[in-house]
Chains A and B, each alone.
Chain A
Amino acid sequence: MAMVLKAGARFRSAVCDAQVMVVKAPPGEHELHCGGAAMLGGSAPAPEGLSLDSARAGGTLIGKRYVNQDESLELLATKGGKGTLALDGMALDVKQAKQLPSSD
């Protein structure tokens, strides 16, 4: 199910514990998946009968930021899980860790 992704929107995996917040997103409608199943927004209940696709179970780590190839999409994992995040069928990669500040 394709949907519009807006900065600040939150989604959760239908098949594992992962949760994300959209940091930035490309315009238009997209398919956002985790562990092989479409991610859920708001309080939508998970459809029955879904399970984690073992081929898409690379894991999502809390606190890491995930990007697509051209970095037009960026998600922050607010909760870790077993599934791999994917946009329009392409798995997302971990973005480099933030540089430390020079002073605080």
Chain B
Amino acid sequence: MGAAQQPGGLIAAAEETARRYAEQCLRAHGLPRAPRPIDLAAEHPAAAAARCGLMMLTGDAGGEPELCPAPIAACADGVLAALEAIAPAGVLNGLRGSQLLTERAAITGALRNGAISPNGSCRLLQTCDGMIALNLPREDDWSLLPAWLEDRVEPVWDAVSIRVAARRVETLVERGRLLGLAVADASLRSGTGPLLPQLSPASGGGRGSWLGQAQKRPLVVDLSSLWAGPLCTHLLQLCGAEVIKVESLHRPDGARDGSAVLFDLMHAGKRSVALDFKTDAGRAQLRALLQRADIVVEASRPRALRQLGIDAPALLAARPQQTWISLTGYGRTEPQAQWIAYGDDAGAAAGLSSMLHAATGRWLICGDAIADPLAGLHAALAAWAGWLGGGGGLVELPLADVVHHCAGFELRHTPHERWRAWMQHLSASHQPVLAPRSRIPQAHAAALGADTAAVLSALQIEPAPAC
């Protein structure tokens, strides 16, 4: 079955899923007509998952690659094609959204490992009444487990899974969130997802100033770390933006200690500014940088920025031509604003593992930190569209919601029915299941703080007093 019945009796070809997603994305950003047509070849969502490496990253370690019945790869292709249609001609040539979902695994060599994430930090764990995803990427997270479980526990996964098996999802998730652990109910969230994040132009920010903006290069200030935010600003940079990566001198992006190839790929060509957030002078410099940005990209909990004296709505009110991209786990409203998420647990929270369970009978992690690159792609489109429109306001991109939205895109049957139809298509199509591939970085990333003095001077921001 390569087609789905649409209201009105029209048959929508599954091969056009990515195109329809691209069109939906552009409409959501108030751009029903892009300057250029959407450049996408017809491809079935299952073929896209097999071609881009996503299937290869899903399934048991010793078993066959598995197909998640969610059009994640097609949506990734669609959202990048939407960006390409509004970006300067040629800058994203040859790049496919789906390939960006898997290139980190291609670089690190991470492989599918069943209910364990390819990078090893996240696991699906059985409780007495359901299934949770628990992600412990920081060494320090392990020290919170006795408080989480109200019991002594050896800092090893086997001991954790025994304790978890005797407890209830609701308690584990509620207590874990209080402690700042990345823990999610993996069994929830079926059906169609929430609407795509909408641009919310602040009053005064005009729409549709295409030609004026197209001649300029937006200034992007990127406070994010790890993968989602850096991928977003990497794409903006390809589109012609000037990107300043701002880090805390005392707590730089942890990805600097990860794969150097990935870090170079995401950050080559960006300026690196390191500020001392512990001092008033450093925080004042940070605010000054943010006040000059056309686009801000950050992935902090709102309270973390407030503790630095940064209030996004207040800054936006003073600068309505700005577009502020807020990447969160579950959104900025309370209590969700307090919950953290990483790519793998957000994917499980969005229901990908439960869809795989419905299809295959096994609990599996889908892809490698899937919510990160998927949210990064959506963030790049929202940022560029907001800038082109003369200011997109505060755009929330909760990782779990972005995945949930894609997972539910054109879901007209049960996940199991969709999986059966897609598997039939796959076996008839002879599309091979390919391994993830990555691009090769063209240059090294700037060292931490390499451009601090130059950037502050160019933007006429007071340097920190020498001490």
A contacts, CB < 8 Å to B:
6-9, 21-24, 61-63, 74, 76, 78, 97-104
Contact of A97 among B146, B150, B251, B258 (CB under 8 A): B251
Tell me whether B254 is interfacial, beta carbon within 8 Å: yes
| Bound: A22/B143 CA distance, A | 11
Check A8 against B121 for contact (C-beta < 8 Å): no
CB pair A99 B140 closer than 8 Å: yes
Of B137, B147, B152, the contact of A101 (CB 8 Å cutoff): B137
By a CB distance below 8 angstroms, the chain A residues around B369 are 103-104
Assembly CA distance A21 to B344 (angstroms): 26
Main secondary structure of the interface of A (DSSP, over half): loop
Q: Are A102 and B146 in contact (CB under 8 A)?
A: no
Interface residues of B in 207-233 (CB under 8 A from A): 225-227
The interface residues of chain A lying within 8 Å CB-to-CB of B175 are: 8, 21
Which residues does chain A contribute within 8 Å of B225, judged by CB atoms? 100
Across the interface, which residues of B come within 8 angstroms of A74, CB to CB? Answer: 143
Q: With A24-B143, A63-B303 as given contacts, are A101 and B148 in contact (CB-CB < 8 Å)?
A: no
Question: Least Cβ distance of A33 to chain B in Å?
Answer: 20
Q: Confirm or deny: B253 has a beta carbon within 8 angstroms of a beta carbon on chain A.
A: yes
Q: What 7 A-B pairs have minimum CB-CB distances, sorted nearest first?
A: A100-B254, A8-B150, A101-B137, A104-B342, A102-B258, A7-B146, A102-B257
Interface residues of B in 135-154 (CB under 8 A from A): 135, 137-141, 143-144, 146-152
Cα A21 to Cα B144 with chains together (Å):
10
Given contacts A63-B304, A100-B254, 16 further A-B contacts (CB under 8 A): A7-B151, A21-B147, A21-B178, A62-B303, A63-B180, A76-B179, A98-B138, A100-B226, A101-B121, A101-B254, A104-B119, A104-B121, A104-B135, A104-B342, A104-B344, A104-B369
Give A7 to B142 CA distance when docked, in angstroms: 13
B143 partner residues in chain A, CB cutoff 8 A = 23-24, 74
In the complex, what's the smallest C-beta–C-beta distance from B276 to chain A, in angstroms? 14
> Which of B140, B144, B226 makes the CB contact (< 8 A) with A103?
B226
- Quick one: which of B107-153 are within 8 Å of A by CB? 108, 119, 121, 135, 137-141, 143-144, 146-152
Asked if A100 and B119 make an inter-chain contact with CB atoms under 8 angstroms apart, the answer reads: no
Contacts of B304 in A (CB 8 A): 63
The answer to the question of B45 belonging to the interface, with a C-beta cut-off of 8 Å to chain A, is: no
In this complex, what residue of A is CB-closest to B153?
A7
0/1 string, B311-331, CB within 8 A of A gives 1 = 000000000000000000000
Instruction: Report yes or no: A99 in contact with B148, Cβ–Cβ below 8 A.
Output: no
Q: Which residues of B contact A104 (CB under 8 A)?
A: 119, 121, 135, 137, 226-227, 342-344, 369, 372
- The complex places the Cα of A62 from the Cα of B179 at a distance, in Å, of 10
